[in-house]
Amino acid sequence: MFGIYLKRELGRRKKAALVIALGLALGIALVITVDSVSAGMTQAQDKVLKSLYGLGTDMTVTKARSAPKAGSSQGPNFKFDAKSSGSNKQSSDRVMTQGGQALSSSLVGKVGAQKGVASAVGALTLNVTKVDGSFTQGKAKSSTSSSSGSQQQGGPGGGTSSGGGQPQVQGGGADFSVNSYSVAGIDVTNQDLGPLATSKITSGTTFTSAQTNAKVAVVGKSFAKTKKYKVGSTFTISGTKFTVIGIATPDSGDSTTDVFVPLKQAQTLGDAKNKVTTIYVKATDSQQIAAVKKAIQSHISGTTVTTSADLASTVSGSLSTASDLATSVGKWLSVAVLAAAFLVAALLTSAAVSRRVREFGTLKALGWPSRKVTRQVVGESMVNGLIGGGLGIALGLAAAYTVTAISPKLTAQLGSGSGGGMGGAGGGPGGGPGQQSASSSMEIALSAPVSLTTIALAVGLAVTGGLIAGAMGGWRASRMRPADALRSVS
Amino acid sequence: MYRLTGVTKRYTRGKETVEALRGVDLTIADGDQLVIQGPTGGGKSTLLQMIGGLDRPTEGSVELDGVDLARIGETRLTRVRAENIGIIFQSFNLIPTLTAQENVETALVPLGVKPAERRERAAEALRSVGLGERLGHAPSEMSGGQQQRVAIARALVKKPKVLLADEPTGNLDEGTRDDIMALLEGLWREHGLTFVMVTHDSSIARRAPRLATIAAGRLTLTEQQPYGVGAYDGQIAH
């Protein structure tokens, strides 16, 4: 009887049922869309963080930023030889540790020994600035005896000297190009963690664990393309010749590291023996990251520990803006629409009960207990809710599919140049949070994945909507007195 | 057996209080037929509600076989209605979306009768009121007289002790009225029911064995000459 009665009643009030179902469907569809887009934002942020931070890395440890010493120079310093030949080709590499701050390698073991740390590896990131070019010497000519043909050589840089009787330097100059790139020295014995973990070797091979001090390199795909490097190519950094053994393609976006070399080689190049710039840490349990951070900070002084969450807070750009929109405006819009849908459903159900006073009064007069009448009203309302839920899920899936199909491009920026404190997060492997003021920018395609949890949430909301509406209508129906059935006739 | 003692019912609306029943005393023996007549607003429907356990008096008691319907809890009162009292309404009060058979079944739902038995009993009840061919028809597909027959079948399907009818012919033409009254008369006698009917139709009231006239909440009882079977077979005098 319950099912037959329910089916017939819903059939009789198709329009009202449809209005209730559509209201709920709209709210639920919005929740699914916002939830899936938010999930897409989170995935995009994860991609950004992983590509810049290291796959599987839960946190990084870097040296705490200290104020520069008085008189110390922070800029690069190049030295060229002055030679006497007419045209001097000069080339100089300036190798600096990224951020100018390094930790002792021994801290890697110390960090690894902390409670809750699964593994820790050190990496040294270097900035290499290469200056290539040539000087051309000027020619000194005497202004008073130009016909004598005597010439004196001027100093590099040419220029002219003035003054009567003094020789004049003419011609000369310099033509230099400056290239800078990043080099990461990695622990070849543990490549699952650290800067190279976010890339795949798409050509050649990666390092073997025996190549701890080999003069071999893996180069980033875009850097290799620019420099036309292939597996087997050689290049020189600060006088050391390296052979390319592999080309690495980052999992997403652009890699911020151009060249990977064994850690010892990087330490030699950077004159940073037994130093690392960043220690990459993986925790035993993702739930314990905060505790591990605290342990490292309290046991190892002079370090800055940055977790993925810390780094995520520094993501800016359109990804961040969209993410903020999804979590603030989208969330509240969903809540508002859902609340309105619930209210409309409750009011319409209540109004339907009012129109059925005689019907429910008759049933009560026939001896139907209040709970049976209430169950009938709630049942009808629940079916409305489930129809709304079904429609809402279909609409929400369609919206999420559309977002994924369109794949709008979002830009993520890390380390917006704020520098101090936690600002300026990372900026790339080895850079470490707070170490670098330069920002890194990545373009990410947004998708809107719909999880089973989201579907379950939608079904839950549909049931809740039906229950809220049914509870209100059922409450009114249960309070109805059977005498109303007779009175409505009088 | 019904025993009503000092039944008073007051309705309060804002500052105004209306006394619908004023100290009504009434005894109805098992198998009796009582017709309640009176002007509109005189309290006849209110009295029927008290007898049917649909409402409670403000004062006094309404005893059915020694159980005071004014005092028992709501759950027990609902059970008494479900098991013992069949009610027929002036406007039939059928559920518009259900078929004739399903409407009759609604009276068996609170008794926990299994669906198959419910369907069988409902069909039998409809056959007994001459609607054996109309089981699957919706109320909108039937005439007023047929709808009232469905309502009668619904009231009787549970085999109640008491049958209450609130102006059962009020919405019917004369011919149909006589048919319905003949049917009710026959069923009353056949089932040995206690039959209480409210009507404003004097021609029906005159032929009842007991007539209760109610005006301004006060009841006056008149014993009349009872009619035999077939009294309503088109012989109602006007």
| Assigned domain for A147 exists | no
Given a cut of 60, whether residue A114 has pLDDT beyond it is yes
pLDDT on residue B25: 93
For B13, the enclosing helix (H) or strand (E) is strand B2-13
Query: What's the gap in Å between the CA of A482 and the closest CA on chain B?
Result: 5
Closest CB from A366, A482, A489 relative to B166: A489
Count of the separate structural domains present in chain A: 2
Q: Out of A358, A366, A370, whose CB is closest to B82?
A: A366
Of the candidates A174, A113, A178, A171, the residue with the CA atom closest to the CA atom of residue A140: A171
- Is residue B232 in some structural domain? no
Q: What is the pLDDT of residues A422-480, one digit of tens each?
A: 333 333 343 343 333 345 666 777 788 888 888 888 888 888 888 888 888 888 888 87
Q: At residue A65, does pLDDT exceed 70?
A: no
Q: What pLDDT does B128 receive?
A: 87
| Main-chain phi, psi angles of A352, to 5 degrees | -65, -40
Which residues of A lie inside 8 Å of B (Cβ-Cβ)?
A: 1, 4-5, 8-9, 11-12, 358-359, 362-370, 372, 481-483, 485-487, 489-490
Residue A105 has pLDDT above 50, yes or no: yes
Single-letter amino acid code for the residue at A348:
L
Contact A60, A433 (CB under 8 A): yes
Report CB contact under 8 Å: A369, B107.
no
Region B217-235: mean pLDDT is 64
**Residue A209, in any domain of the structure:** yes
Q: How confident is the model at residue A485 (pLDDT cuts 50, 70, 90)?
A: low
Q: Rounded to an integer, what is the distance from CA A142 to the centroid of its chain?
A: 66
Pick the more confident residue, B88 or A166: B88
Task: Please count the CA atoms within 13 angstroms of the CA of B24 that sit on its side-chain side.
Answer: 37
Q: Are A60 and A281 in contact (CB under 8 A)?
A: yes
Tell me which of A441 and A213 has the higher pLDDT.
A213
B212 burial via Cβ count (<10 Å: 0-12, 13-18, 19+): buried
Sheet architecture: strand order including B2-13:
B16-28, B2-13, B59-64, B67-68
The pLDDT of residue A315: 65
How much is the average pLDDT of B11-30?
90
Residues 6+ apart with CB under 8 A from A388: A20, A21, A22, A23, A24, A25, A28, A341, A345, A462, A465, A466
In a domain, B230, yes or no: no
On the question of pLDDT at B126 being above 90, the answer is: yes
Q: What is the pLDDT of residue A346?
A: 78
Residues of B in contact with A5 (CB under 8 A): 95, 97-98, 102
- Among chain B residues, the shortest Cα distance to A356 is held by B95
Residues A293 and A209 in one domain: yes
The reported pLDDT for the residue numbered A118 is 87
In terms of domains, do A131 and A231 share one?
A: yes
What is chain A's mean pLDDT, rounded?
A: 76
Domain span at A258? 77-137+172-301
Q: B87, B197, B200: best mutation site toward chain A, by most A Cβ within 10 Å?
A: B87
Per-residue pLDDT, averaged over B95-113, amounts to: 94
Any idea which residue has 């050589």 for tokens? Answer: A153
Q: Could you tell me if B168 lies within 8 Å of chain A, comparing CB atoms?
A: no
Contacts of residue A210, defined as CB under 8 A and 6 or more positions apart, other chains included, come to: none
Question: Measured between alpha carbons, how far is A272 from A265 in angstroms, rounded to an integer?
Answer: 10
CA angle centred on A46, ends A413 and A96, rounded to 5°: 55
Please give the Cα distance from B170 to A490 (Å, whole number): 11
Task: Tell me the pairing of strands B67-68 and B85-88.
Answer: unpaired
Q: Which domain holds residue B143?
A: 2-223
Q: Which residue has the higher pLDDT, A419 or A17?
A: A17
pLDDT, residue B86, reads 93
Token code pair at residue A327: 């979590």
User: How far away is chain B from the Cα of A371, in angstroms, using its nearest Cα?
Assistant: 10
* Residue B52 touches partner A, C-beta closer than 8 Å: yes
In total, the C-beta contacts within 8 angstroms joining chain A to chain B are 85
pLDDT score, position A98: 75
Mean pLDDT is highest, among A43-47, A68-72, A142-146, A210-214, for: A210-214
| CA–centroid distance for A476 within its chain | 52
Question: What CATH number should be reported for the domain holding residue B17?
Answer: 3.40.50.300
Contacts of residue B202, defined as CB under 8 A and 6 or more positions apart, other chains included, come to B37
Q: Which residue of A has its CA nearest to B110?
A: A368
Question: Hey, is B222 helix, strand or coil?
Answer: strand
Does one domain contain both A338 and A465? yes
> Are A101 and A193 found together in one domain?
yes
Amino acid at B193: L
Residues in chain A within 8 Å Cβ distance of B95: 5, 359, 362-363
Give the integer Cα–Cα distance in Å for A420 and A305. 14
Residue A125 lies in a domain: yes
Residue A482 with chain B: CB contacts under 8 Å: 54-55, 81
pLDDT above 80 for A223: yes
Residue A342 binned pLDDT confidence (cut-offs 50, 70, 90):
confident
Predicted confidence at residue A430, as pLDDT, reads 39
The residue out of A266, A301, A336 marking a domain boundary is A301
**Res B110 pLDDT > 90:** yes
Distance CA A256, CA A181 (A): 9
Cβ-defined contact of A486 to B95 (cutoff 8 Å): no
B113 shares contact with chain A (CB less than 8 Å): no
Q: What is the pLDDT of residue A422?
A: 32
Average pLDDT over residues B128-133: 88
A111 and A241: one domain? yes
CA distances from A124 to A69, A194, A310, B94 (A): 22, 10, 21, 86
CB contact residues (below 8 A), chain B span 22-51, against chain A: 45, 48-49
Angstrom distances, CA of residue B110 to CA of A75, A227, A364, B77: 91, 87, 10, 13
The whole-number pLDDT of residue B109 equals 94
Query: Which of A359, A366, A370 is facing B107, going by the closest CB pair?
Result: A366
What span, in angstroms and rounded, lies between the C-alpha atoms of B187 and B164? 13
Q: Which residues of A are less than 8 Å from B85 in CB distance? A: 367
Do B78 and A372 form a contact (C-beta atoms < 8 A)?
Answer: no
Q: Is residue A63 part of a domain?
A: no
Domain end (from A301, A335, A354) = A301
Q: Is the ipTM of this complex over 0.85?
A: yes
Dihedral over alpha carbons A187, A190, A192, A198 (to 10 degrees): 10
Helix (H, G, I), strand (E, B) or coil at A422: coil
B135 touching A (Cβ < 8 Å):
no
The reply to whether residue A1 touches residue B48, judged by beta carbons under 8 angstroms, is no
Q: A2-12 and A370-406 are packed helices; what angle lies between their axes, rounded to 10 degrees? A: 60
Residue of chain A minimizing CA distance to B90: A489
CB contact under 8 A, B87 and A365: yes
- The rounded Cα A473 to chain-centroid distance in angstroms is 48
Beta carbons of A341 and A469 less than 8 angstroms apart: no
Of the listed ranges A100-104, A143-147, B39-43, the least confidently predicted one is: A143-147
pLDDT for residue B90 is more than 60: yes
Q: Which of B49, B84, B121, B166 is most worth mutating to test chain A (most A CB atoms within 10 A of its CB)?
A: B49
Of A333, A331, A344, A330, the closest CA to residue A21 belongs to A344
A270/A382 same-domain check: no
Residue B54 falls within a domain, yes or no?
yes
Q: Which chain A residue has its CA at the smallest distance from B43's CA?
A: A490
Provide the 10 A C-beta neighbour count for residue B81: 25
Say if the Cβ atoms of A489 and B75 lie within 8 Å. Answer: no
Nearest to A473 by CA among A358, A388, A382: A382
Tell me how crowded residue A135 is: count the other CB atoms within 10 A of its CB: 24
* Bridge partner list, B16: B13
Q: Which residue of A has its CA nearest to B51?
A: A483
Interval A261-309: pLDDT, tens: 999 999 998 888 888 999 998 888 777 788 888 888 888 888 888 887 7
Cβ <8 Å between A367 and B75: no
| Residue A400 within a domain | yes
For residue A331, the model assigns a pLDDT of 72
Q: Are residues A337 and A275 in the same domain?
A: no
Could you tell me if B139 lies within 8 Å of chain A, comparing CB atoms? no
Contact criterion met (CB below 8 Å) for A473 and A375: no
Which pLDDT does position B99 carry in this prediction?
A: 95
Q: Is residue B213 part of a domain?
A: yes
Nearest-neighbour CA in chain A from B73: distance (Å): 12
Query: What percentage of chain B reaches a pLDDT higher than 70?
Result: 94
Nearest residue on chain B to A359, alpha-carbon basis: B95
B128 belongs to a structural domain:
yes
DSSP structural state of residue A462: H
d(C-alpha A393, C-alpha A389), whole Å: 6
Closest CB to A486: pick one of B45, B74, B98.
Answer: B45
Indicate whether A246 and A109 sit together in one domain: yes
Per-residue pLDDT reduced to its tens digit, B141-162: 999 889 988 999 999 899 999 9
| Residue range A393-411, pLDDT digits in tens | 899 899 989 988 888 777 7
CB contact under 8 A, A359 and B81: no
Q: Above 80 in pLDDT, residue B2?
A: yes
Q: Identify all chain A residues contacting B49, using CB atoms and an 8 Å cutoff.
A: 483, 486
pLDDT at A259 (0 to 100)? 93
Q: Do A342 and A477 belong to one domain?
A: yes
User: B164-177 pLDDT, tens per residue?
Assistant: 998 888 877 887 88
Question: Torsion angle, CA of A489/B2/B7/B12, rounded to 10 degrees?
Answer: -30
Q: What is the pLDDT of residue A490?
A: 42
Q: Where are the beta strands (DSSP E) in A298-439?
A: 303-307, 409-414
Give the pLDDT of residue A424.
Answer: 33
Of A363, A481, A490, which is closest to B106 when you measure between CB atoms?
Answer: A363
Same domain? A322 vs A404: yes
**B contacts of A379 (beta carbons < 8 Å):** none
* Residue B108 φ/ψ, nearest 5 degrees: -95, -15
| Phi, psi dihedrals of residue B44, rounded to the nearest 5° | -70, -40
Going by pLDDT thresholds of 50, 70 and 90, the confidence category of residue B21 is: very high
Q: Does B11 touch chain A (CB under 8 A)?
A: no
Do both A357 and A453 map to the same domain? yes
What per-residue confidence (pLDDT) applies to A179?
Answer: 82
Question: Cβ B54–A483 below 8 Å, yes or no?
Answer: yes
Tokens in use for A219? 């180069």
Q: Is A220 exposed, middle or buried (0-12, 13-18, 19+ CB in 10 A)?
A: buried
Which residues 6+ apart lie within 8 Å of A231 measured at CB? A203, A204, A244, A245, A246, A247
Examine residue B129 and state whether it is found in any structural domain, yes or no.
Answer: yes
What's the rounded Cα separation, in Å, for the pair A351 and A360? 13
A486, A487, A489, A490, best to mutate vs chain B, most B CBs in 10 Å:
A486
**DSSP run (H or E) holding A440:** strand A440-445
Give backbone dihedrals phi and psi of A17, rounded to 5 degrees, phi first: -60, -40
Of the candidates B26, B29, B27, B3, the one whose C-alpha atom is nearest the C-alpha of residue B192 is B29
How many domains does the structure of chain B reveal? 1
CA distance B159 to B170: 24
Is-contact A142 A167, C-beta < 8 A?
Answer: yes
What's A100's DSSP letter? G
Total number of residues shown for chain A: 490
pLDDT in tens, A136-172: 776 766 655 444 444 444 444 444 444 455 667 666 6
Q: What is the mean pLDDT of chain B?
A: 87
Q: Does residue A209 sit in the same domain as residue A342?
A: no
Last residue of a domain, one of A233, A268, A301: A301
Hey, what are A230's tokens? 């292939």
Element (H, E) at B59: strand B59-64
